[in-house]
Structure 1
Amino acid sequence: MESLSATNKENTVTKAQKMKLQWRKKSPNTIALLSLTLAALKTPQNPSSKTLILKSSNKFLHLLHPKSPLSLSSSESLLNAILTLLPPLLRSSCDDVVCAAARIVGAASLVSIEVNKRIACDVDIVKGLILNVLRVENMETKKAVCNAILDLSITSVGCQSLLEVSGLNYLMLGILQVLKSTVFPLSINMMENEGNIFLGVENFQDETAMLLLNASATLTNFCDTEQLKNIPRKLKEESAPYLREQWSEVREQLLTSRFLSFSEVKHCYMSNLTVRNLAESIFRLSMDAPGLTYSIPAEAVMGHIFGPCSSSFTNFMLEQWESSPFLIRNQQKDLEAPNAVFISIMQSLTCEETLPRSLSSILRGMVSCPPVALNEIDSLRFLDDVRDTLGSPMIYQQDIRVVRTNLHSKFEEHHFQDSSSNGLEAPRSFSADDIFKCEAAYREGYTIALRGMEFRLNSVAEVAQRVASFFGQPSVGANLYVTPPNSQGLSCHYDDHCVFVCQLYGAKQWTVYPQPIVKLPRLYECRDIPQDLLVDRKRILLREGDVLYLPRGIAHEACTVTDLGTSNEDCESSVHLTLAVDVEPPFEWEGFAHVALYHWSQIKGFDTLTHGTSEVLAISVIILHVAIRLISTTEPMFRKACLVAASSLPAKTEYWLDNNQRTTFGVLVDKINELSSFTDSLKFLQMTVERHGDPLHWLQWLEHLDGQEVYFRDTWKLTSDGISNILSFIYQHKDEAEAAFAHVKSKFCNEVLFDDAKVSFNILHAKYKQARLQYMNGMLSLHEQSVISL
């Protein structure tokens, strides 16, 4: 057997060698054919010239076939000759010639990465290819051009070259050109394979549109931030309706899991465009949209939430903000005004009999909205993290909860349960069947809780942005709660953020415990509530138009039983929206103090400090940051929201708020000067090293300050080993280090200026706000149809 195998191998090698010799003998004819083709291109209208060009093009295409015995990599002269020939072929006025040339480009792009890069670096070839997207009319030729673009874009060099000659603009114009002349939306088919869902078209006449869509999505998803901004706004706006309508078709099929089998795929064209690719391209094209069109004036939102008087907001800030509940009664007649807050949502839920069905139609139009990391300000980096789920149906627990609280036992029950240890299902995508189950659950007394409404409805996004500007935060979240009669959704709890409960429909009875369970809890610091702390409760009945403010840390619960002592058959359903003011670490007063210290240390520099070496003084700044952190755990003022970046306020209110913020900062500086402890800070660092933790992880957001990223990485983003070395140095020079710390603290507290810190703080705020706006714009674009349905 071994000898037979060896003989076969020898015969195979010999056969291959003979074929190569034969092709090498023929290669002079090939080179001659190249020369004849160049000559024929001078008279392309001549029938014999056209025949020769097509014949030679087919010959070259055959040479590029993977099974061709003549490898281009071993025939540099042949490759150079073919690349030289491509630009004039692509400029031909004959569609057949352009088609042949495009096929050669596509085949050559797949020969190897090196050949792909050679083509990508030839501007004449790339530009000639792109110009034909709009120039040629023959659909077969257009398909060949699109396929060639897709083949070239398998490398980053290819994508970059296509973008440099405005390839994405041409492809988007090509989509508009084709779709305006065909039936739209396309009849999309979907096939699932190895976790990816690919898109195809049922009608082969739609293949060109799908290829253009595929190529356009490929380049869009390769773009960096600046390249996305350079796409003409008008082109984005004209393309948006087509893309979103197509997305609506895809989203519906995704929800119902209508996928083709492999046998059915043979009867339609399947592209390599996935659902995620399409969702990401729509998201990216919408990120830098001009923004929301504010139909409701800021003063209308402010009046609805805080009261009609010009001093209402000021009074609220002085008496209730982050300290005690606050109720505003709004008359129904006020809500009927043309600029009434939340009117578009209320109009969609005006009839109780249609509420479950209306809710179901809304849910069908919603997709998953993954939460953004607190320190994330790069939207494209965020996309890298969520790419696998972007555009997918809603995920239970993340986007939606279906929950009720037993009115007697006060325990929460989730409608979607299994036998897992905590009684809840693991996160899963919602299906069309699950949505129908929500209707049934609603009739059984379950509340439907929807997170991230500011990403799903333009009207909610508009109000959320207004409220965020009042409080100087980058964004404000919004959750919708739909509760049937005689029911309670969530059990008694407190939040790690302040909320404004806006009653949209029906009525709801709230029980509020004014004594804080935790004084100003930070994000993700909520714990179970000891029953002995639930004292001095107050009951508040909210009706349509009313707004209830609840500070973070205040326990509360709500139900649709208006008379809690008896069964009430006539009680109403309830729909309310909560606006959640999350105070992220950079935008607490502690964060402002860190920004002030950082800015002061950069402006003053260590050369102006006279006590200690520059190394000891730099370490002292780090220790002072730690000291500020420790003070914030015992002094609630440091955990309060900093409103330095607040906007959209009346002029008098802005003037008052500015003075208020300056006064608060002065108090904070005095606290830092009085309470900062060198010894306690060292103990904190030592404990962190012993636990092998990151001692400054809570300060990583500071790297986003303008132009200071290198300094932050080099000086502050320290490992436990780095801190261990610092501690060793301090213990060896303890007296000098403690004296330097006292010197730095004193100089900072005496020299720091509010206005200097304010400039840096506003830069940081603008970066966060821009990132949140981009995310919101992208998500709203994936929910466009749900906006229309309301």
Structure 2
Amino acid sequence: MENPNGKRKRKSRGGGAAASFDRVVFPILLAAVAPTAGPNQRASSFSTAARVLRRLLSRSPPAPPLSPLPASLVALLPVLLSSSSHSVAALSCEVMGAAALQSMEAGEALASDGGIASGLARALGSGSRRVAEAACNALMDLSASPVGRERLSGSPLLPRLLYLFSQVKSISEVVGSRSNKYQARVSEPSKGLYLIIDAVVLMVNSCKVDKLRNLQQGLVRKTIHLLYEVWVKVRPLGSSSDCSIWNDQLQCRPNEIREAIFRLSMDLAYPAHLEPAQVRESFFRQMESDFEKFVLMYWESSPYLYRRKQSGLKMDPVFTALHDAFDLTTPDAIIESFIQGLVSCPAVASDELNIDSFLHEFHDSLGAAVKYRQDVRVVRTRGQTSTESGVEEHFFDDGMVFPDAAAFVDKCKYAVKNGFSIALRGMELRSEKVAAIASALADLFGQPSVGANIYFSPPGSQGLARHYDDHCVLVWQLLGLKKWKIWPNTRSILPRLYEPFHSLDDLVDDNGGRVEILHEGDIMYVPRGCVHEAHTDVDDGESDVNASTNYSLHLTLAIEVEPPFEWEGFAHIALQYWLEKEKLGRSSGPVRSKVEEQAPLFALLLHVAIRLLSDSDPALRQACMVAAKLPSSSNSHLNPLRSSQRSTFTEILSKIEKSCSFDEVLKSIKLAVEEKNDELFQWMSWLRHLPHQQQATEACRIDFCDVLGHFEELLNVFGSDRERARADYAEFRLRFCRSVVYEDACDGFEMLLRDYRTVRNQYMRGMLALHGKHSS
């Protein structure tokens, strides 16, 4: 063929080169992997194959382009990678890496080949440092694209990498090691270790969460321990102005190492430090029925004090474990024991049931320095009187971070000497012992999680100003004394999480507060909504405690009742489960009524009606405890708490049947549609997590994250004949209230609780690992 200039075009070399490869090179490589008669012939074949592979890398004729690799070479690669000749195996890795670097598509194709992934895994375990390093380099090259990373992370490569990494005795003299002058060259063994670390971090962070669960736990624990050691070594280098050697050694950044530690820890089974029964006995006395009495008499209604005998504290394993978690010898030692080595713990979104979403949002900031107010407060209150709440004075500015841990500890010590209290949130994310207590309490109350804060106050001081909380707290005095004043909640409606706080006006009076002095070991319960204040200004004569113990240390365990786990949430779950069951039961019938066809829209109306009812009815805001873990010896049909929960649901159904007005609901929906504003219906987003019955049809389902479209459909359907719609809605509501099955709702409630607990536990384990609590 000629071009317009009359000159003949040159044929592409690609096809001819590939044919030449199949004719000349392929037989040589095939001979290298085929069984041979004797060692001399095998050595000769290996030597020839190695020369051919080097020629491929040098692109000397008759070598074909490396991208794409000839199909015949790709077919041979799994065997070449497993060759007993270290030169052949290493060079095969290099050829594959070079092809991936020339073409992303070629790299993705190679990464997707299961045989090649298995061959790479065998190369990693060959015992040869040269081959292992070449395999690590090839793995990194094949992982240049998201597709390549995803394919390889799900292959046998990750377990093999973890095993290879776990054989490292110690990295303390390698990673981040420095002399007075930075070494110009990094030793060969160190280079190999850095390659492995880079590969491990990349593969772990690319792997799907469910795949990480399948890894052998002993291997995971060892890997976490070593990665944490790496992070501790490189963390100070990362903030140094003279760390050029860091950039030459590891490709992965500190935040990527932290993410790998977090990911590996999420589903790791931690050794049980405390039995739930032990925690129940520590908080609610010895008898199994004492917890039920507490719930029926005090929970969400009035304060409760459990005065502990000092002589019996040493016999309490829970108190002893917690007491021993802190160095209580001096005030400075106390501060160091819970402030040193902290990292920030950003909060998980209240309706987040996918840990991947949290990692996507925070992967860059995992393990970052603590942030003021988010993690810690250093505060004192001035000017408080019997009628005025006083003003909180903070030692640090809002949003301030503390990358210099030693300087932060010193400033905290100085602040305490000047009358400031330290309040550190998220202790269940920083201490395994606190985590064990918090987890047992969450089980006991049937809630997703329990938060824990630690408070340390100097003598004669008040930290936080008078306030109330939107969650219930159990206060455990660990050291010294603290005087509390608590006012009863005068509002019939309990405060909800995430709602604005009301003014304290009319919530307190000069004579109505209850005063209690907590001694070491005492436990006090403060319901949400009860205004309270606490200080260490204990009058003479109230205590014989000496000056060295006038400091106060106490732990608060916050039982946050999240929206799905109030009685309102239980009603929504009951409605959704009933709706799906109704649709399944009637779907086989030949004729369906208009009410049945419009059931999802009526259910949406009723969801909104239940929400409106909860704004004025106290019962719907109370915690639903159908999932509370009662003693196994309790007789289910005679148990007072279980009977009380069933009775509460019956009463709520009666209120829904009588009070959920069609016109009021339609009015609120119409306003949202007209203004194209669904802000008042954002609370519905958690309903998307409700478990669906397996056979439920899509017709039953509502997109609760985008309800405006459904609201418009609802108005169109019901707007033409409001009287008929009102009557049909009343029929639908009545049928729900009369035929819903309590046990079905309980099943849905507990399934949702398990989903919430799974994510909260994954988060807790990941944060504990970033605090060095990886249970290796």
What letter is aligned with 1:129?
L
Aligned partners of 1:41 and 1:53 also within 8 Å: no
* 1:698 corresponding residue in structure 2: 683
* 1:105 corresponding residue in structure 2: 96
SS of the residue 2:594 aligns to: coil
SS of the residue 1:479 aligns to: strand
Q: How many residues align?
A: 740
* 1:10 corresponding residue in structure 2: none
Which of 749, 753, 765 is matched with 1:761 structurally? 749
Which of 777, 781, 785 is matched with 2:765 structurally? 777
Question: Which residues of 2 match residues 233-382 of structure 1 at below 5 A?
Answer: 233-250=217-234, 257-258=239-240, 260-262=242-244, 264-265=245-246, 269-295=248-274, 297-337=275-315, 339-349=316-326, 351-353=328-330, 355-382=331-358
Aligned partners of 1:398 and 1:427 also within 8 Å: no
Distance in 2 (CA, whole Å) between partners of 1:689 and 1:105 is: 58
Aligned partners of 1:365 and 1:785 also within 8 Å: no
Moved more, 152-161 or 318-327: 152-161
Task: Check if 1:397 corresponds to 2:373.
Answer: yes
Which of 594, 601, 624 is matched with 1:612 structurally? 594
Distance in 1 (CA, whole Å) between partners of 2:372 and 2:642 is: 43
Moved more, 162-171 or 737-746: 162-171
Distance in 1 (CA, whole Å) between partners of 2:626 and 2:249 is: 54
Moved more, 26-35 or 46-55: 26-35
Q: CA offsets per residue over residues 95-127 of structure 1, 9 Å max, x none?
A: 222221111111112211211122123333322
* Alpha carbons of structure 1 residues 22 and 321: separation in structure 2 relative to 1, 3 Å: closer
* 2:724 corresponding residue in structure 1: 736
What letter is aligned with 2:78?
P
Aligned partners of 2:378 and 2:396 also within 8 Å: yes
* 1:630 corresponding residue in structure 2: 612
Distance in 1 (CA, whole Å) between partners of 2:753 and 2:326 is: 36
What letter is aligned with 2:304?
F
Aligned partners of 2:486 and 2:530 also within 8 Å: yes
Shift in Å at residue 374 of structure 1? Answer: 1.2
* 1:489 corresponding residue in structure 2: 463
* Alpha carbons of structure 1 residues 774 and 22: separation in structure 2 relative to 1, 3 Å: closer
Q: CA offsets per residue over residues 1-45 of structure 1, 9 Å max, x none?
A: xxxxxxxxxxxxxxxx99999999999599735544444555685
Moved more, 611-620 or 220-229: 611-620
Aligned partners of 1:201 and 1:269 also within 8 Å: no
What letter is aligned with 2:318?
V
Q: CA offsets per residue over residues 462-508 of structure 1, 9 Å max, x none?
A: 11111112211011111111112222111111100000011111111
* 1:58 corresponding residue in structure 2: 54
* Alpha carbons of structure 1 residues 447 and 204: separation in structure 2 relative to 1, 3 Å: farther
Task: Check if 1:96 corresponds to 2:96.
Answer: no
SS of the residue 1:703 aligns to: helix
Distance in 2 (CA, whole Å) between partners of 1:59 and 1:80 is: 18
* 2:4 corresponding residue in structure 1: none
* 2:478 corresponding residue in structure 1: 504
* Alpha carbons of structure 1 residues 116 and 189: separation in structure 2 relative to 1, 3 Å: farther
Distance in 2 (CA, whole Å) between partners of 1:683 and 1:785 is: 53
Shift in Å at residue 646 of structure 1? Answer: 0.7
* 1:448 corresponding residue in structure 2: 422
* Alpha carbons of structure 1 residues 721 and 350: separation in structure 2 relative to 1, 3 Å: closer
* 2:392 corresponding residue in structure 1: 412
* Alpha carbons of structure 1 residues 473 and 186: separation in structure 2 relative to 1, 3 Å: farther
Structure 1 length-normalised TM = 0.86
SS of the residue 1:578 aligns to: strand
Task: Check if 1:727 corresponds to 2:715.
Answer: yes
Moved more, 364-373 or 31-40: 31-40
* Alpha carbons of structure 1 residues 203 and 481: separation in structure 2 relative to 1, 3 Å: farther
Distance in 2 (CA, whole Å) between partners of 1:316 and 1:344 is: 24
Aligned partners of 1:402 and 1:446 also within 8 Å: yes
Distance in 1 (CA, whole Å) between partners of 2:220 and 2:157 is: 14
What letter is aligned with 2:134?
A
Aligned partners of 2:470 and 2:529 also within 8 Å: yes
What letter is aligned with 1:576?
H
Moved more, 35-44 or 510-519: 35-44
Aligned partners of 2:477 and 2:521 also within 8 Å: yes
* 1:216 corresponding residue in structure 2: 200
Which of 116, 129, 132 is matched with 1:125 structurally? 116
SS of the residue 2:634 aligns to: helix
Q: CA offsets per residue over residues 433-481 of structure 1, 9 Å max, x none?
A: 3332222212222111111111111111111111112211011111111
Distance in 2 (CA, whole Å) between partners of 1:242 and 1:400 is: 29
Task: Check if 1:579 corresponds to 2:579.
Answer: no
What letter is aligned with 2:137?
N
Shift in Å at residue 597 of structure 1? Answer: 1.0
* 1:553 corresponding residue in structure 2: 529
* Alpha carbons of structure 1 residues 461 and 158: separation in structure 2 relative to 1, 3 Å: same
SS of the residue 1:135 aligns to: coil
Distance in 1 (CA, whole Å) between partners of 2:491 and 2:723 is: 42
Q: CA offsets per residue over residues 230-280 of structure 1, 9 Å max, x none?
A: 2123322443433333344345666xx336444x45xx8422212222222
Task: Check if 1:463 corresponds to 2:437.
Answer: yes
Q: Percent identity?
A: 35
Shift in Å at residue 188 of structure 1? Answer: 2.5
* 2:148 corresponding residue in structure 1: 158
Instruction: Tell me the C-alpha RMSD between the 2 structures.
Output: 3.4
Distance in 2 (CA, whole Å) between partners of 1:304 and 1:391 is: 33
Q: CA offsets per residue over residues 389-411 of structure 1, 9 Å max, x none?
A: 11222222111111111255821
Distance in 1 (CA, whole Å) between partners of 2:611 and 2:395 is: 42
Structure 2 length-normalised TM = 0.87
Aligned partners of 1:99 and 1:144 also within 8 Å: yes
* 2:504 corresponding residue in structure 1: 530
Distance in 2 (CA, whole Å) between partners of 1:71 and 1:560 is: 79
* 1:663 corresponding residue in structure 2: 647
* 1:428 corresponding residue in structure 2: 401
Question: Which residues of 2 match residues 554-569 of structure 1 at below 5 A?
Answer: 554-563=530-539
Distance in 2 (CA, whole Å) between partners of 1:565 and 1:342 is: 27
Moved more, 741-750 or 154-163: 154-163
* 1:14 corresponding residue in structure 2: none
SS of the residue 1:273 aligns to: coil
What letter is aligned with 2:83?
S
Which of 19, 26, 32 is matched with 2:24 structurally? 32
Which of 645, 657, 672 is matched with 2:627 structurally? 645
Shift in Å at residue 622 of structure 1? Answer: 1.2
Aligned partners of 1:252 and 1:364 also within 8 Å: no
* Alpha carbons of structure 1 residues 238 and 21: separation in structure 2 relative to 1, 3 Å: closer
Aligned partners of 1:509 and 1:559 also within 8 Å: yes
SS of the residue 1:293 aligns to: coil
Aligned partners of 1:451 and 1:480 also within 8 Å: yes
Which of 532, 541, 550 is matched with 2:517 structurally? 541
Aligned partners of 1:401 and 1:449 also within 8 Å: yes
Stretches of structure 2 that go unaligned for 5 or more consecutive residues are 1-8, 179-183
